[in-house]
Structure 1
Amino acid sequence: MDTAIRNKILELLEQHRIMTVATLRPDGWPQATTVGYVNKDLTLYFLCGLESQKANNLMRDDRISLTIDHDTPELMVITGLSMAARARVVHDRAEAEEALRLMPLRYPQSQRQPLPFKMPTPDEVRIFRVTPLLISVLDYKKGFGHTDLVVC
């Protein structure tokens, strides 16, 4: 992967905290939901309820599509990422605890004051590791609808 494009992907991952994840429901229809995420390099982590529809969808089929972007008042400054990826349950306790430790650090207020709730333990949520297979880097500054496609 080209160093400049990799740096752009990492920059966009660091600038954002939420993503939209599309999974496949049992009836074949896609289900898109918004989740918070953390990343370590190009690997992303998100969590959800143990028996959520999203978790159940991923237990049947670990393929996901996701987007990471933000609203902007100017058309020609739109940037973002979309990915085709695999989302697999994290079974390693140390990896799960690390993902949970990193999650509140994405929110500046948690640096100044305690969270208004107790972070769940790895036994109370399902944590998914997202491994990108294909990343599309959207950057309108390079032209309307410009994307750089990266195979991982």
Structure 2
Amino acid sequence: MPLSSAEPAQSADQAGLQARILAVLDGRHLMALATNRPDGWPQVTLVNYFRREHALYFVVATDSQKFANITRDPRVSIAIGGGAASPFSLSMAAHVTEVRDFELIERLNKTIQALPPESGFIPHPGASSVVLLQAEPRIMTLVDYAIPPGRREVLSVVESWKIQRTDAINPR
């Protein structure tokens, strides 16, 4: 299942991996987001997100430690999935940027408003000032716990979320 109809044909193996990745991403709306604190310690927080096309979007308070960490170092790690709903989990190295395009923000606001209540997506309750952020994956690891002890596929993400297997963990 290509992420968009404009993408070139891919192998059945790649299509299957991509379908499993999308199932994890679209089946959840809560991710663990790890950022780098100024003192070198990692900081992990749970954040609501949604996927649109080739990115994950989330909202954070502008006065939060998380936003300060991302502003200083836009490299993050993300973990999603697991549990009874799916035997798959996904972790990724991603690069985060602030969304400043007003038209894109308007389109994303409409996406957020259209999410069903059962999605559990909550933009950012109680924050007086927030910012919309976009995470673009560079390296993904898909783990299938249905195959003990957990079969993993390490994938590099190339343009437009085309994936390729890799052994090297070197996100750009």
91, 94, 97: which is aligned to 1:85? 94
Determine the C-alpha separation between the residues in 1 that align with 2:16 and 2:124.
39
Kindly tell me: are residues 88 and 9 of structure 1, through their superposed partners in 2, closer, same or farther at Cα, counting changes over 3 Å?
same
Superposition map of 1:31-110 within 5 A: 31-72=43-84, 78-108=87-117
Determine the C-alpha separation between the residues in 1 that align with 2:87 and 2:16.
18
Give the letter aligned to residue 19 of structure 1: M
**Alignment partner, residue 139 of structure 1:** 144
Which structure's relative contact order is higher, taking Cα pairs within 8 Å and 6+ residues apart?
Answer: 1
Determine the C-alpha separation between the residues in 2 that align with 1:8 and 1:129.
21
Shift of 1:53: 0.7
Shift of 1:4: 1.0
145, 149, 154: which is aligned to 1:149? 154
**Identity of matched residues, %:** 30
**Alignment partner, residue 132 of structure 2:** 127
Shift of 1:42: 3.4
Shift of 1:97: 2.5
Determine the C-alpha separation between the residues in 1 that align with 2:116 and 2:66.
24
Aligned residue pair count: 142
Determine the C-alpha separation between the residues in 1 that align with 2:124 and 2:92.
31
Note the aligned Cα RMSD (angstroms): 2.8
Q: Secondary structure at the match of 2:59?
A: strand
Shift of 1:109: 5.1
- Listed as ranges, the gaps of 5+ residues in structure 2 are 1-9, 158-172
Shift of 1:78: 3.3
- Listed as ranges, the gaps of 5+ residues in structure 1 are 111-116
CA contact 1:44–1:131 (8 Å) conserved in 2: yes
Give the letter aligned to residue 91 of structure 2: S
Give the letter aligned to residue 51 of structure 2: N
CA contact 2:60–2:124 (8 Å) conserved in 1: no
Shift of 1:104: 4.2
Determine the C-alpha separation between the residues in 2 that align with 1:26 and 1:32.
14
Determine the C-alpha separation between the residues in 1 that align with 2:140 and 2:152.
10
Using structure 2 for the length normalisation, give the TM-score: 0.73
Give the letter aligned to residue 101 of structure 1: K
